[in-house]
Amino acid sequence: MLGVVGYADWIHPSQQEGVTAMQATNAAAPAVTTRRVDPTAACALCASRLVGLCAPLDAGLLGEVAQETARITLAPGTTIFLQGDAARHVISLVRGSARLVRVLPDGRRCAIGFRFAGELLGYTPERDYPFSAETLTDATICRIDRRRLVDLFRLHPVIEGRMLDLCARELSATQDHLLVLGRFSAEERVAAFLFSLVAAQQARGRSATQLDLPATRADLGDLLGLTLETVSRVLSAFRRRGLIVLHGATRIELLKPQAVAQLARGEGPRAGN
Amino acid sequence: MLGVVGYADWIHPSQQEGVTAMQATNAAAPAVTTRRVDPTAACALCASRLVGLCAPLDAGLLGEVAQETARITLAPGTTIFLQGDAARHVISLVRGSARLVRVLPDGRRCAIGFRFAGELLGYTPERDYPFSAETLTDATICRIDRRRLVDLFRLHPVIEGRMLDLCARELSATQDHLLVLGRFSAEERVAAFLFSLVAAQQARGRSATQLDLPATRADLGDLLGLTLETVSRVLSAFRRRGLIVLHGATRIELLKPQAVAQLARGEGPRAGN
DNA sequence: CGGGCTTTTGATATCCTTCAACTGTTGTGG
DNA sequence: CCACAACAGTTGAAGGATATCAAAAGCCCG
């Protein structure tokens, strides 16, 4: 009954062009979308050595890892993998953005988080993926067979150490999100999201006041535990208060980033009580 | 302004007997509460080899790890470490239960989660602990210096692999909690908590219908993003509907565990819409 | 037995959701 | 090039779920 309308493009990947390649077995991967990466190129698992899995690797190891990977380009709104599917691959988002979503039996959706260029998705010790991953924009992903990655862990513990590091950081970010969903008001939640976008931009050396929302109001609602109407109302309120300017629906300019940051940290006016 | 009354016993550890030992440097740990563990004993980092860090270790490694650890007994309501403290130790909960809490500047509290015997807390790649940890019951913890643990990782990659496994599972559990806070009604949240207690009990081979709440209504509220009054009201409603029986305030008997489980999975009556 | 907590329950307030209508945008085909 | 359809966003009104405030009852421990 809830927000499922309009998501017809998020149906199972087997019905979508381009993703069928992903679901194919490793052995028979079609040449169209999947190809071996040139080992002399930069690590295919990483868009940026800063945030990726292979930051601590030297050139030799990079080449070795690159040989194990396959690069795939995906259209916006494509399912990368589906909640409940066998977790055969670990994916690195080389370009573009994606989101991780859990769906309840009655259609309620909850976005675990958004992922941006350079980040990793789909690593799990369980048999199946515990959530679905969908591209938000045009995206290039790089995938490696999970068993091969585990083999690499044995050969090069430094990669496993790096994975532990990424996992622990993601855990910390998820705990932050827990606080947002557990104790923040609608305004604080939206501010926290905008603030996290700023942080993601800054980590990639891009503008921190011009934000391109990667998602619809409904997507933001799923991420923040709100309805799309509430997200819209909050953004309007921010605009009226002069905190932001909306250029179209997706481009947001922060006029008072500090005020937003303050709200995002839960230090808003209500703290003055 | 919110729920800080009554938590006077959770002040900074430097003022508390027994915890001062924890905060002392490794070199000068007092003999009273801290002692070297007999290397021939079972791994001190683990209460149960099933859930602990050392499950994959053979006897020789176990002894080696045990030499690096110190065991400490704590009273209920003791701060194990404080949000913002330097993350010097990784802690294994050998006996008892604890909770992890984040506090906002204005006093709002959010519990990240509860931890039970055999679970690990305080591992972070950051410099400081991102949350506080407090014992809920009488507890025995086992701690290891973080740098020594990292050294152990180098020597025995299998331990690092185990840590990655634990971290990934905790991440998954935290994502589950995200769904609870983002999209569950008050009744579903309480049911989800009861259900998680059942799971924790079963994992330790104990009764799955007699639950001992490890916390006050306020604590549960912090964990579930509710107020203590709402928690109380929901439990009363469950009692009136015959789902549970309350023996005193902390002992709960599940009369219809399946109904609770159904609510906890978000498959409650509301799904029938 | 008394004091301090915790819990329960009630009344009221508030924030957010729900439902609904309307507007704006984008892409497509005539 | 425009009309139209489909979808995203905005805004309003009403309702509901949970918070807040308040008071009483239960429980533990000295």
**Which residues in chain A are contacts of B168 at CB distance < 8 A?**
123-125, 167
B71 touches strand C (CB under 7 A): no
Residue B240 has a pLDDT of 97
CB contact under 8 A, B171 and A172: no
> A217-224 and A186-203 are packed helices; what angle lies between their axes, rounded to 10 degrees?
100
Instruction: Report the range of poorest mean pLDDT among A1-5, A136-140, B51-55.
Output: A1-5
Task: Give me the pLDDT at residue B33, please.
Answer: 38
Interchain CB distance below 8 Å, B225 and A106: no
Are the beta carbons of B183 and A270 separated by less than 8 Å? no
Interface of B with A in 250-269 (CB under 8 A): 265-267
pLDDT over 80 (residue A232): yes
Does at least one atom of strand D sit less than 7 Å from the CB of B54?
Answer: no
Instruction: Measure the N-to-C terminal CA separation of chain B; round to a whole number of Å.
Output: 39
Lowest mean pLDDT among A6-20, A239-253, B81-95, B164-178: A6-20
Measured between CA atoms, how close is B183 to chain A, in angstroms?
A: 6
Q: Give the pLDDT score at B60.
A: 67
Average pLDDT (B164-183) is 96
Rounded CA Rg of chain B: 19
Instruction: Tally the residues of chain A.
Output: 273
Q: A176-205: per-residue pLDDT in tens? A: 999 999 999 999 999 999 999 999 889 888
Task: Cite the DSSP H helix spans in chain A.
Answer: 19-23, 59-66, 146-155, 157-183, 186-203, 217-224, 228-240, 257-264
Q: Chain B, 16-75: which have a CB under 8 Å from a chain A CB?
A: none
Calculate mean pLDDT across residues B248-272.
Answer: 87
Chain A stretch 190-249, residues whose beta carbon is closer than 8 A to a beta carbon of chain B: 222, 224-225
- At residue B202, φ and ψ (nearest 5 deg) are -60, -40
Q: How far is the CA of A97 from the C1' of C30 (A)?
A: 37
pLDDT digits (tens, 9 = 90+) for A10-54: 223 333 333 333 333 333 333 333 334 443 344 544 444 445 666
Strand D at less than 7 A from CB of B187: yes
